[in-house]
Structure 1
C-alpha cells in the first residue's frame, strides 16, 4: 500500500509517500481501506521535532490519527463488524495517512449514511479535542466563553458545541472568517496587536464579563484570560507549558477519546447540528501541498487527504 512517511525531522520536504506493507492483523483488530484522513497542526509539530520531548518520533515515521473508510478484513475474535461496513475511527500509531490502516475494533464507530467521507475522516482529532475542552470548562447557558483560534479545525467545532449549550461565544480569529463565525452566532474579535482592547470592548458591549476561556492558539492567551478575571480552572489551553505554569486546564484529544464521543459527534454532523468546514481536499500523493496549505494559509476548518477520485 501507499503510506505517508518521513525519515527525519524537518519541513514539508521530508514527507514522502512510500510503498509499505500493512502490518499483520492481530486478534481483535480490523483492516480499513481509507477513504479520507484529516491532517492536523499537531502532526506538523511532531514532524518538525517541536514536540520531541512529549511525543518523539521513531523513524521511519508514519502520520495520522483521523480516518474514515470501509472494513476490508477482520482479525480473530472481532465481532460486530463485517467486510464492507463504513466506519470512522482513530489510530494511536500515526498510521492513518495511508491507503489502509489497522486498528483495534474498539477504535471504530459506524459512519452515518448522511455523513460525507471527507467530514467523517476529519472528525476524530478536532472533534475529540473540542469536546474535551468544552467539557473541561463546563459552560452553562448564558455564560460568556472566549475562544481563540476559533476557525481552525478544533476551534470551529468548539464554537458550535458551546452554542449547543447556549453559551455566549466571543470568537478571536482572522477577519476573513468573520462571516462564518457570525453565522454561528458568535461575536467576532479580530486577532493581532490590540486584541485585549478589542476583546474588552466586545465584552463591555455584551454581558460585561468572561466566564470561561478556550485557547487553541497558545502564546499569551492564557495570561490574557487570567487578566480578564477568569479562574484558572475555567481556562483550557493546548499550550501545555502555559497550563503547567499558570495552573489552568489542558484537556485535549486524549481526554475526549472514546467511541461514545466520536459517535455523538458523527451524529451531530450527520444531522446538520454542527458543521465541519472542509477547506480543501488533496490526494495522498499531494501530502506536502496539503500541509503547506494547513501551515501557511490558516484555513477555515479541516484539510483532508482522500483518494484521487474524491479530491
Structure 2
C-alpha cells in the first residue's frame, strides 16, 4: 500500500506498537457490518503507539518526532494500525508518557479508554462497591485499577488461577461460572452498588446482585439497555487518553503485556485473542 496521505488536522504516525483487541477479529468476521462500512482491502487495528513523522496543515498540537499513542478508530473500516504508518486525526492522539514502554503504550488506548468510559458512565466513586465481570482480562484489569484509584471497593470475577493477581491489584476475587451469585453474596450480602460487565452473558447475575438503585453497564451486551443499563462504546479522545497517561506517570496504572507478534503473525495473535484466556495485552510490532 502507498504511504497514507496526511490531511488537515492529522498526524502521520510511524507504528512502533499496535494493540490487538477482540474487536479486530470480530470486524474481520463481519461482526460490525450492520454498524460500520468497510472498504477493501482492509488493514485492521485500532490501537497505536509510535513516532510522528509528518503533520498536516493546522496541527499545532504535535511536531515531527513526538512520541504518541492513540485509539485510532475511524468512521470507515479501512486504514488501521497493523501497518508501518497510519494517519490519525490529532484530536484522538495523546503524548506517550515515559512511564510506558512502546508495547504498553500500544496496548493501552482502546482497553484503557473502554474501562475509563464504562466507569464514568457508572459514576464510580469512593462509596461504591463495584462488581467487575471479566476482571483479569485486558479491559477488566485496567478497570480494576481505575476504580481503585477512584476510591471504590472492587469485587472481580476471574478463573482461580488469576485470583492472586487480582488481589495484587486491590480487588476481591470470586470465581466465575455456576454459583457466581452465591459467591458474590458471601462477599457482599447486601448486593453491589454497580456492575461493569466486560465478559458478556452476565445480565441475569448482574440484575440479581444489584442493590436497590444500583447501576450497571456492559461493553458486550446491548440488551442491558432494556434493563436500565448502559451499553458502552468508547470514543476516540486524546484528552481522555492523556488522563490515563497521567495515571501511568504517577504509577496508578500498570499495563501488562502478554506477548508480541510481527505483521506476518497477526493470524497467530488473533488466535491467541480468540482463546479468551490471555492475561495482559497482545501487541503487533511492525
Report TM bin, short chain.
over 0.9
> Residue 211 of structure 1: which of 149, 173, 193 is its match?
193
Aligned to 2:145: 160
Shifted more, 224-233 versus 267-276: the winner is 224-233
What does the per-residue CA deviation read over 1:130-167, in whole Å, with 9 as the maximum and x for residues that have no partner? 00111111123142110001111111111111111121
Long gaps (5+) in structure 2: none
Q: Is the 8 A contact 2:116 2:146 kept in 1?
A: yes
Structure 1 residues 123-202: aligned runs within 5 Å: 123-202=108-187
Contact 1:232 1:249 in 2 (8 A): no
Partner of residue 45, structure 2: 64
Structure 1 stretches of 5 or more lacking a match?
1-19
Shift of 1:65: 1.2
Residues 11-57 of structure 1: CA distance to partner in whole angstroms, max 9, x if unpaired? xxxxxxxxx11232212221110011001111222111233223353
Matched, 1:244 2:229: no
Tell me, yes or no, if structure 1 residue 268 matches structure 2 residue 250: no
What's the CA shift string for 1:176-200, capped at 9, x where partnerless? 2111101111111111222222222
Q: SS of the residue aligned with 1:253?
A: coil
Aligned length: 282
Structure 1 residues 279 and 251, CA, compared in 2 at 3 Å: closer, same or farther? same
Q: CA deviation at 1:106?
A: 2.2
Structure 2 CA distance for partners of 1:139 and 1:107, relative to 1, 3 Å: closer
Instruction: Give the conservation status (yes or no) of the 8 Å contact 1:38–1:303.
Output: yes
Cα distance, 1:232 vs. partner? 7.6
The more displaced of 269-278 and 121-130 is: 269-278
Larger mean CA deviation between 223-232 and 68-77 belongs to: 223-232
CA distance in 2, matches of 1:233, 1:251: 17
1:55 corresponds to = 36
**Aligned counterparts of 1:33 and 1:48: Cα–Cα separation in 2:** 27
Task: Assess if the C-alpha contact under 8 Å between 2:147 and 2:154 holds in 1.
Answer: yes
Match of 2:256 among 269, 274, 277: 277
Shift of 1:116: 0.6
C-alpha distance in structure 1 between counterparts of 2:263 and 2:212, whole Å? 44
- Between the aligned partners of 1:153 and 1:305, the Cα distance in structure 2 is 15
Cα-Cα RMSD: 1.8
Once residues 111 and 142 of structure 1 are traced to their aligned partners in structure 2, the CA distance between those partners, rounded to angstroms, is 32
Note if contact 1:128-1:252 (Cα within 8 Å) is conserved in structure 2.
Answer: no
Check 1:112–1:44 CA distance in 2 against 1; reply closer, same or farther (3 A cut): same
Which range is displaced more, 291-300 or 32-41?
291-300
2:27 is matched with which residue? 46
TM-score, normalized by length of structure 1?
Answer: 0.85
2:7 corresponds, among 19, 26, 30, to: 26
Using the alignment, how far apart are the partners of 2:61 and 2:244 within structure 1?
A: 21
Q: Which runs of 4+ in 1 moved over 3 A?
A: 55-58, 229-233
Aligned in 2, Cα 1:232/1:281: closer, same or farther, shift over 3 Å? farther
Contact 1:87 1:109 in 2 (8 A): yes
Change in 2 beyond 3 A, CA 1:229/1:27? closer
Return the offset for 1:230.
Answer: 4.1
CA shift in 2, pair 1:36/1:280, >3 Å = same
